[in-house]
Amino acid sequence: MLSFSLSVMMGLSLVSFWGESLIFLMMLTAMMLVWSCDFSVSKVSSLFELDSVSWSLIILSLWVVILAVMASFSVNQMNQSSNLFMFVNISLLLALLGSFALNDYLLFYLSFESSLIPVFILILGWGYQPERVQAGIYMLFYTVTASLPLLVMLLVMKANSGSGYMYMPSEKSVFSVLYYFFFLMAFLVKFPMYMVHLWLPKAHVEAPVAGSMLLAGVLLKLGGYGMLRILSLLGGISPMILSGLVSLSLWGGFVVSMSCLRLMDIKSLIACSSVVHMSGCIGSLAIMSDWGLKGAVALMVAHGLCSSGLFYLTYVVYSRTHSRSMLVSKGLLNIMPSMSLWWFLLLSVNMAAPPSLNLLGELSIIIGLISWSKLSIVMLGLMSFFSAAYSLYLYSLSQHGQYLFSKGGFYSGSLVEYMILVLHWMPVNLLILKSSYILS
């Protein structure tokens, strides 16, 4: 045993900081998976408390960070400040783990906001275009501005109650519209909800592949997690505000889903599809029903894996064609036939085809919202239809047709690329076999 340990340590000493960090993240993920077999609520310490939602999002964070680092191996190959890149990713992971595990809401707020700094550094340091500075400022302006009222309300609540814990008992009372607005706006911008979503396509378009994978895979879920915890603390939303919030989220999802049919930028389309999926999560979290909460958590986990995989596929195409336009990148079925299979599989998950976890999440959300109001079936039906429409639109326009340039210099895919795609697709389809882990 001692000789084995020494050989492992010698092997680690021969690899770079990049390799050591990747091995550490894989070992940490394996330990978390073993530890999370029992998803009962566990109080780790006075500051950390974990339940099924926390465990699900923590494991999702570890999984997506590992895949994002693997997808960015070109940063290490070209020596583009690879050690700093790995440090930024690990810093982001620590901020995410703190956000999902802390039960003190002021510390949660600090972790919640500190997660923006590594993403901002990723966009500015390893982004592709000069416009990345504007995209980073857009993201910071939207998210930080909306978060300041939340900080004020948390400080007021702590001063009045003398407690800083998220799970403290609270009496139900009639809150003003402004009160709810201050509490929820930070999370609605982070989701993001329609009308405050303009920062997301800009950030995705200019971010490197790791930034896009982490932004879509994990950071958007911070908005859902925070909204769930704050609404549990407040005891729900008053009926008047609830009707307006759900109506706006569903209407926004419908409008964005229609606009996706006119987009030609692959990254922008996938980013806007995230807004459509998260609009259903906003409505189901707001009504605070059992079906709605379980469906929202399932959809957040499934969307984190699916959207991360789609952004990686976009990077694979961009590395060959040097363009994100579907007009330039059409006809990929003739050039990269094996990658076309992965486009089909991941877009099928994106449109909630069985047996994916997306299907379970969307069905639970639909049941929860229809049980709250029968009228919501109209918007939900239209959103489901247009979600399938823009997924098929993206597949048909990018894979079929005549490619504009020479086919020389193309190769279908490497072993690492296929492995990353398999590690995105398999969990989102196998988790439905053990959905009780997430829906408990």
Helices (H), 116-196: 116-126, 132-161, 177-190
Chain segment 230-278, per-residue pLDDT in tens: 888 877 787 778 888 999 999 999 999 999 999 999 999 999 999 999 9
Nearest-angstrom CA–CA distance, 281 and 293: 8
DSSP 104: B
How far apart CA 279 and CA 220 sit, in angstroms, is 12
Q: Which helix (H) or strand (E) holds 267?
A: helix 266-287
Q: What is the pLDDT of residues 344-368, one digit of tens each?
A: 999 999 999 988 999 999 999 999 9
Intra-chain end-to-end CA distance of the chain, in Å: 39
DSSP 8-class letter at 216: I
Could you tell me which residue, 422 or 82, shows the higher pLDDT?
A: 422
Q: Supply the pLDDT for residue 176.
A: 62
Neighbours of 172 (CB within 10 A): 9
Residues 372-382, mean pLDDT to the nearest whole number: 94
Report the C-alpha gap between 123 and 131 in whole angstroms: 10
* Distance of alpha carbon 224 from alpha carbon 351, whole angstroms: 20
128 neighbors 137 (Cβ within 8 angstroms) = no
Contact 291, 280 (CB under 8 A): no
3-state secondary structure of 48: strand
Round to whole Å and give the CA distance between 65 and 214. 7
Q: Helix 290-321 vs helix 357-372: angle between axes, to the nearest 10 degrees?
A: 140
Q: What is the pLDDT of residue 301?
A: 93
CA distance 279 to 384: 12
Give the integer Cα–Cα distance in Å for 332 and 321. Answer: 10
Of 17 and 370, more confident: 370
d(CA 301, CA 296): 9
Alpha carbons 417 and 438: distance in angstroms, whole number = 28
DSSP 8-class letter at 50: E
Residue 82: other Cβ atoms inside 10 A: 19
User: Residue range 81-89: average pLDDT?
Assistant: 88
- How many C-beta neighbours within 10 Å does residue 256 have? 21
Percent share of the chain, pLDDT over 70 = 83
* CA-wise closest residue to 264 among 393, 400, 389, 128: 393
Contact (Cβ atoms closer than 8 angstroms) between residue 211 and residue 126:
yes
Bridge partner list, 102 = 48
Q: Which two tokens stand for residue 84?
A: 């700093």
Q: Yes or no: say if 251 and 288 are a contact pair by the CB < 8 Å rule.
A: no
Quote the pLDDT of residue 269.
Answer: 95
Predicted local confidence at residue 139, as pLDDT: 92
Strand partners, 49: 43
**Res 27: pLDDT:** 63
Q: What is the torsion angle, in degrees rounded to the nearest 10, for the CA atoms of residue 382, residue 387, residue 388 and residue 391?
A: 160
